[in-house]
Amino acid sequence: MNKGDLVNEVAKVVSSKKEAQAAVDCVLSTITDALTGNDAVTLVGFGTFKAVERKARKGRNPQTGQEISIDARKVPKFVPGKALKDALK
């Protein structure tokens, strides 16, 4: 399923595809804004989105084998909730 498929599913519940697109975009931008602000987004039964800090580390260029340093950075992380885990059994 991609974003277009998700919009089509939401459009079945709301009155138009345009409103569904706006709703999906609003949810995704709100989650992005929350993660940017270091807030976690918890959807009970579904899971939690949060930003985690990755430490700086050493890596290797696969073409040359030369060692390179990879800077520390924040990355998004999703932890599934119990209901989602149970649904996949």
Segment 9-27, tens digit of pLDDT: 999 999 899 999 999 999 9
Segment 38-78, tens digit of pLDDT: 999 999 999 999 999 999 999 999 999 999 999 999 999 99
Nearest CA to 9 out of 83, 47, 21, 80 is that of: 21
What's the predicted TM-score (pTM) here?
Answer: 0.81
The fold adopted by the segment(s) 1-85 is HU Protein; Chain A (4.10.520)
Given a cut of 90, whether residue 28 has pLDDT beyond it is: yes
| pLDDT, position 51 | 96
| pLDDT, position 16 | 92
| pLDDT, position 89 | 87
Q: 73: Cβ–Cβ under 8 A, 6 or more apart, which residues?
A: 53, 54
